[in-house]
Chain A
């Protein structure tokens, strides 16, 4: 196990170093002069040169990379000229909004998938058609379009939920920051008006974001559960006289859930890329919206930090998942090591 762990860790470090080089190179070849963009079109040559010096753009590319990567590791992710503050500060400021959205979407996706998959594998004749059809639609639905449809149906036509107006109606004051999540903070301070309003704002974007991972997890989990429902251990449990439903919940579900964990990486990726697409539509003031704005304003420091950061998180998550699965199931450890 130690050897396996060490090997995996070494590989991840190598991958991350290469990934940082890739992110650096891709966003350094961009046309246009970053110094000119930051200084503004009216700045004179000496100002632009000063900015260039300040950014270290007059050094050679290797020095620039080393400068960038040492900064990145120590939490200095560059300067966003369009927002007029450091990228790290900008992300820290916008992170709670994205976190709140992603968290709700994650819960909806996971709970929804478990419920649908449990029923679809328990009574395939009744439920599997519905579950299959819905998840098929879910896998083909672009999240940004779903956002639009949800807004049209539930906000414009039915008026049940508020339109694309961010996290809270403008006439309300946000709750004091404790966790940064409006729903949690307002509940902690007992502000039920804020809570219901924040929740109402959260429902549609969270559903739009949750649909794709929900569909994916439902299909995967249903397949896993169907497989474990016919496994010998299930037959043994049933023949001992345990009721079908109890067998399904305690044994089939239990064993079927485990291999699903291996897909956490994909779910994370869908949440992070989805937040970019969904936040834009709902005017949700999170990191995804920052990224879209940064692209429009050619603020490459933000794009670079966002892309690299997501790669780092994605890789680390995949590593953790592998280690957890390997810890639980020794067979995976073996094949992983010899591969």
Chain B
């Protein structure tokens, strides 16, 4: 007996797969949304690569050229300390990618561990773990991440820990349903019959069985993780000011926005918007694929 349906454990603001069918796409028709999203995503990968070479520019203080508007030399202008905003956005891309990848992958690993334990372990453990999962899900995601980050002391790592804690139950919930279902699959029953050990079954048979749902969940949570991190940094509990993190840069830009230097805050936010929107489209497609491959998808 659990208090919430698996439906409410979706990544925030993603839709149930049931509603994703839509109208059939004409064969051979161009999927503009997907193509544009892929292009934008590729641009961000390029930006991240550029960021590797721009690291010194992103932090180099040049007070003489502070608050310069966008020009050929400084594409996105400079901030109040004369740092190049474009370079900072580019380095911010690396931070966003790395942080989102790390939090989502650790969260996914934790979720898989819980799901497999629930699926194959004793019943009481399943109940206990699901009860704990529900507890974490009882908090709005950003607020719990915020509380954890506050408790650990502001910083990129604390914010990451906060995000991981809120992501694990999302994975655990959706994957558990699959893991429990796997128990009655013929190939799992056969594996038991021929005497394979439970850890062996878990690693070699149940985890691969979860992989489709896992991929879908990773894709769906990636954009959300990017946004949550930016939100935490914006409030001041994530990345701290000199770090070129997008959310922290927007906070910084707020101070100059009303005196006319709009580019400091607007540029990183634009990057955030484009990246998350493209990730949303891409993850939609992954979900649609995943749902097709397994008709009785968990989502």
- Residues on A facing B (Cβ under 8 Å): 7-8, 11-12, 14-16, 18-19, 22-23, 26-27, 29-31, 124, 132, 136-137, 139-142, 144-145, 148-149, 151-152, 155-156, 163-164, 212, 216, 219-220, 223-224, 226-227, 262, 265-266, 269-270, 272-273, 276-277, 280-281, 292, 295-296, 300, 303-304, 306-307, 310-311, 314-315, 318, 322, 335-336, 339
Contact = CB atoms under 8 A, between A and B. Distances in A.
A301 to B, nearest CB: 12
A139 B142 CA distance: 15
A292 B235 contact: yes
A240 B2 CA distance: 45
A162 to B, nearest CB: 12
Contacts of B273: 137, 140-142, 145
Nearest to B3: A11
Nearest to B13: A216
Contact of B140 (A142, A216, A311): A311
A151 B257 contact: yes
B263 to A, nearest CB: 10
Nearest to B6: A339
A296 B279 CA distance: 32
Interface stretch (B44-52, B53-61, B127-135, B291-299): B127-135
Given A139-B13, A296-B236, A223 B151 contact: no
B171 to A, nearest CB: 18
A130 to B, nearest CB: 13
B22 A226 contact: yes
Contacts of A224: 19
A156 B260 contact: yes
Interface residues of B, number: 62
Contact of B147 (A14, A262, A307): A307
Main secondary structure of the interface of A (DSSP, over half): helix
Task: Give me the 10 closest cross-chain CB pairs, A-B, nearest first.
Answer: A145-B269, A11-B3, A140-B277, A140-B276, A223-B19, A269-B140, A18-B135, A273-B142, A311-B139, A19-B138
A148 B253 contact: yes
Nearest to A272: B140
B139 A19 contact: yes
Contacts of A149: 266, 269
A212 B135 CA distance: 25
Contact of A295 (B12, B141, B237, B281): B237
B13 A266 contact: yes
Contact of A18 (B132, B148, B260, B265): B132
B117 interface: no
B13 to A, nearest CB: 5
B227 interface: yes
Contact of A148 (B33, B257, B260): B257
Contact of A292 (B151, B236, B281): B236
Interface of B: 1-5, 7-8, 12-13, 15, 19-20, 22-23, 33, 131-132, 134-136, 138-144, 146-148, 150-151, 153, 223, 227, 230-231, 234-237, 247, 250, 253-254, 257-258, 260, 262, 265-266, 269, 272-281
A132 B234 CA distance: 28
Given A15-B131, A30-B150, 5 more contacts: A136-B280, A145-B266, A156-B258, A220-B15, A266-B12
Contacts of B269: 142, 145, 148-149
A14 B131 contact: yes
A273 B143 contact: yes
A156 B257 contact: yes
Given A269-B140, A269-B141, A307-B146, A277 B258 contact: no
Most chain A CB neighbours (cut-off 10 Å) among B134, B138, B146: B138
Contact of A307 (B143, B234, B258): B143
A228 B153 CA distance: 50
A142 B272 contact: yes
Contact of B151 (A29, A262, A265): A29
Contacts of B235: 276-277, 280, 292, 295
B147 A144 contact: no
B1 A277 contact: no
A280 B134 CA distance: 30
A140 B274 contact: yes
Contacts of B231: 142, 144, 273, 277
25 contacts: A11-B1, A14-B3, A15-B3, A16-B138, A18-B134, A136-B33, A140-B223, A142-B276, A145-B269, A148-B257, A148-B266, A156-B257, A226-B23, A227-B19, A262-B7, A270-B12, A277-B231, A303-B147, A310-B140, A314-B138, A318-B4, A322-B4, A335-B5, A339-B1, A339-B5
B74 to A, nearest CB: 19
B89 to A, nearest CB: 13
Nearest to B139: A311
A136 B277 contact: yes
B143 A223 contact: no
A245 to B, nearest CB: 21
A269 to B, nearest CB: 4
A54 B150 CA distance: 24
A148 B143 contact: no
